[in-house]
Amino acid sequence: MTTASPPRPDPEVRGVRLVVVLLALTVVSGLIDAVSYLGLGRVFTANMTGNVVVLGFAAAGAPGFSVPHTATSLGCFLLGAVAGGRVAARYGKGSRRRWTRLTLAAEALLVGASAAVAFAWPDTNGTRYSLIALTAFAMGLRNATVRKLGVPDLTTTVLTMTLTALASESRLGDATGHRSPRRTASVIAMAAGAAVGAWLVLHHGLGIPLLIAAALSGVLAVVASGRE
């Protein structure tokens, strides 16, 4: 008489849940936008909603804004999103864990390369364009992946709809906000990343916050699971 072998554990559940991973990536977005806005000439490389507005300011001739910098960020972000779409087409129907880890590893390498450039050639025009291009491409790649993963209320970069949902679905609104803790955590994560990033940029330059962002993405690439 044979005994049935125990079921194999699902590899998708190994590691940290995607909700936690995406909240940590929201912190990374705050770090990166602090670097880009404060250190690269008032341009966003994670938050493209703000970037479109900034491009309008720059096109109108508002002082302190640059059309070339902002256009570079938008263009590289879109290229990253295209790459993310291709990766999703190839891996999106398979293991979410493998797909997520692959994307986050690529993000870590791109942001790590930007940190290396910031340390090696600080305060040059070429460095500014390199940092904008590398971080914007990384954020486009990540955002395309996050969109396809479809974890509710966790976009990692844009909070407009998150804040709208927090207010409109609160007890003062229609009282249907069953995901309020997740949304609140997302807002706090972005603010915390931006605050830490701003302090680091103001006191230690651009390389250290970028290195921290790369390290966080790298750790998440190792520990992420495929479960929400």
Torsion of CA 199, 204, 207, 212, to 10 degrees: -50
CA dist 35 and 13 (Å) reads 34
Tens of each residue's pLDDT in the chain, 228 residues: 455 555 666 777 788 899 999 999 999 999 999 999 999 999 999 999 989 999 999 999 999 899 999 999 999 999 999 999 999 998 888 889 999 999 999 999 999 999 999 999 998 999 999 999 999 999 999 999 999 998 888 899 888 888 888 888 777 777 676 768 888 999 999 999 999 999 999 999 999 999 999 999 999 999 999 888
CA dihedral over 25, 30, 35, 40, signed as positive or negative: positive
Distance CA 33, CA 42 (A): 9
Statement: the pTM of the whole predicted model exceeds 0.85: yes
